[in-house]
Chains A and B, each alone.
Chain A
Amino acid sequence: MKRMTLWAVLLIALIGVIVCAAMMWRPSIQPLNTPVTADATKIERGARVVEQGDCAVCHTRPGGAYMAGGLPLVTPFGTLYTTNITPDWGTGIGNWPEEAFVRAMRKGVSRDGHFLYPAFPYVHYSRMSDADISDAYAYLMSVDPVQARAPENHMMFPMNFRPLVTFWNLLFLRDDPLVPVAGQSERWNRGRYLVEGAGHCSSCHTPLNFIGGEKSSEHLGGGLVDGWHAPALTGMTQAANPWTPEQLVAYLRGEVAQGHGGAAGPMLPVSLSMAQLPQEDAEAVAEYILSLKADITPPASSCVAASPEPIKPDQREGAALFAGACAGCHGGGAPMRTIDGRPGLSVVSAATSDSPRNLIKTILEGIPLSTRAPSHYMPPFADALDDTHIAALAGYLRGQACAAKPWADLEKTVTTIRHEGEPK
C-alpha cells in the first residue's frame, strides 16, 4: 500500500513536470531566406503605428542608431537591454517572418521560441488590430539595418530563467481584441484603442504589483517610472486645475498647454512621438482620457492659489533662491510667461501634487533640448544647487502652490531622489 502511494506521488510529480515543461516551451519559427519588401503606402501606415507605439523611445539608446536597441531598462528584477529591431540579418529582426513578429507582439515570444520579458509591453500590443501589427512589421523591415548586439541582461534569480515568464503571462496577458464600445463616439473608441493598445499608457500610469504586473483595480490610477511619478489619468477633469481637451492635446504634442506645465521626464519622448503624428491621434487620446473619472474628488482640490501667498519667514531663503535661479524664466514678468503664455509654477501639477517627486526631479535634471518638436527646455540644477537649497526652493514653491499642505522631510527626499538610480 505504501509502495502504491509512493508510485502515485511520483507519477503526479512527473505529470506536473511534463505539464510545466510543455507550458514553458514555444517552437522556433523558421527564419526567412530572402529579405521582405512591402509597398510604400503600407510602410507609411506602419511608420504611424510605430510612432503610436513609441517603439523608438526604448529601442533607440541616446546617441545610438535608430531602433538598434541597447537602452538599459532598470527594473526591480535586474537590468535589461532593449533589442535591435532593425532588419539586420544577424543581430536584428531581418530574418523574422511576419508570423514571428505577430507572435512577439501578441504572445511575447521571440522568433527562436524564447520568452520576452514583459518590459516589452506585449500585454498591450496584443490588443492591437491585425492590420496595424502587419503595417508596423512592414515599416520596421524597411528601416536602415544596423549591426548591433544588445549587451547581456543582468536579471536576478529566478527571473533570469525566461521560461518562468509563462506563469506571469497566465496572470497578465490577455489578447482579446478591443471591441468598440457601443454608444461611445468613434473618436472615443479610437482614443481607447490607442491608449490601451499601441500607446500602452498604463505601462507607466498604472501602479505595479510586486511581480511587476499592472494592478488592474487601479487602472491608469498613477504609477512610478524611472523615478518620476506618472500621474493618474483618471479624474483629470475633476482635478483642482482641470484639463480641457485643447490643453491636453497641446500637452500631448509637446506644445504649450495653457494653464499647465509641459511634458518632462519619461513623458517628454512620448510627447515628441505624438508631435510627429496627425493631430487627430492626440485628439482621440485626449477624448478617451478625459472621459475617465476618478472615484473620489482628489484631495488636491485644496491646492488652489487664487492670489500669491504671503512668504513665511522659513520660506525666505527659498524665495531668494527662486529669484536668483528661476525667476528669469518662471517669474511673473519673464518672457517665457508673457510672450509664450506659460503658466506660473503655482498651478503646475509638479507643485500641486501630493508628492514633491516630479518638482525635485525637474529641478535636478531639467528638461533636455529636443529637435523633434517645439517642446520645452530647462537647464538641470543638480550641480548648481545642493540638497538644502533645492529643499528650500521646493518648500517655497509648495507654499505658493498649496500653503495648506506643506511637503514634509524635503531635504531628505531631495537627497534620496538625487541618489536614486546611481550604481550601488
Chain B
Amino acid sequence: MITLNVNGKDHQLDIDPDMPLLYALRNHLALNGAKYGCGLGQCGACTVMVGDKPVFSCLVPAAAASGKTVRTVEGLGSADKPGPLQAAFIDAQAAQCGYCIAGMIMRAQALIETVPHPSDEQIREHMAPNLCRCGTHMRIFSAIKAVVASGVKP
C-alpha cells in the first residue's frame, strides 16, 4: 500500500511503488488534469506540484511522492469557482487544444508561490520546461503576468 496526500487528502492506494505518480493520479484517483505527453520529462504536460516544487509526474515513482504533499490543477479551483491562475488563463484564452494547460498552470503556480513578483525573464526561464505545440505561449505568458500584476495570491 502506498499513501499519497493529494490536494490535502490522504489516499491509501494498492499500487506498485514504481508506478509513476501520473498514473496513480489519473487511473486511481480520477484526477485527469495532468496529462501524459512524452513520458520522458521533455514536455511538461504532466506537471504537478510535490511540496512547493513543480515536477514531471510521469517521472516521479509513487514511492517517491509518498509522505509528501501533492497538488494538482484540480486543487486550485473548479469549473464553477476557478482559482486566480485558472481564471486568468480563461480570460487570456490561453488554451487552444488545452493539453498542456494543466501542466502550465501548476508550473506557474509554483513560481508565484515562491517568487511573488517575478520579472518577465524569470517567468520565461521558469516556464521553459513546459511546451505548447499550439503555440499559445504569449497568451500563457500574459495570463501569468496578469495574476502577478493583480497581486492576488493564487
Contacts and interface: CB of A to CB of B under 8 A. Distances in A.
B40 to A, nearest CB: 6
A325 B16 contact: no
A324 B61 contact: yes
Main secondary structure of the interface of B (DSSP, over half): mixed
Interface string A313-325: 0000100110111
A384 B62 contact: no
Interface in A300-329: 317, 320-321, 323-325, 328-329
B63 A320 contact: yes
B64 interface: yes
Contact of A321 (B41, B51, B55, B61): B61
Interface band, chain A: 10 to 19
Interface in A254-289: none
B60 interface: yes
Contacts of A317: 17, 63
A329 B61 contact: no
B61 A320 contact: yes
B1 to A, nearest CB: 14
A130 interface: no
A385 B53 CA distance: 11
Contacts of A328: 39-40, 58-59
A385 B60 CA distance: 7
Nearest to B124: A63
Contacts of A329: 40
A120 interface: no
A295 interface: no
Interface string B51-91: 10111101111111000000000000000000000000000
Contact of B60 (A63, A325, A378): A325
Nearest to B129: A379
Given A324-B61, A379-B41, A384 B56 contact: yes
A389 B56 contact: no
A320 B60 contact: no
22 contacts: A63-B121, A320-B16, A320-B63, A321-B61, A321-B64, A324-B17, A324-B60, A324-B61, A324-B63, A324-B64, A328-B39, A328-B58, A329-B40, A377-B42, A378-B41, A379-B56, A383-B50, A383-B53, A384-B59, A384-B60, A385-B60, A385-B64
**Nearest 8 pairs of A and B residues by beta carbon:** A324-B61, A379-B41, A383-B53, A323-B18, A324-B18, A320-B18, A384-B55, A320-B17
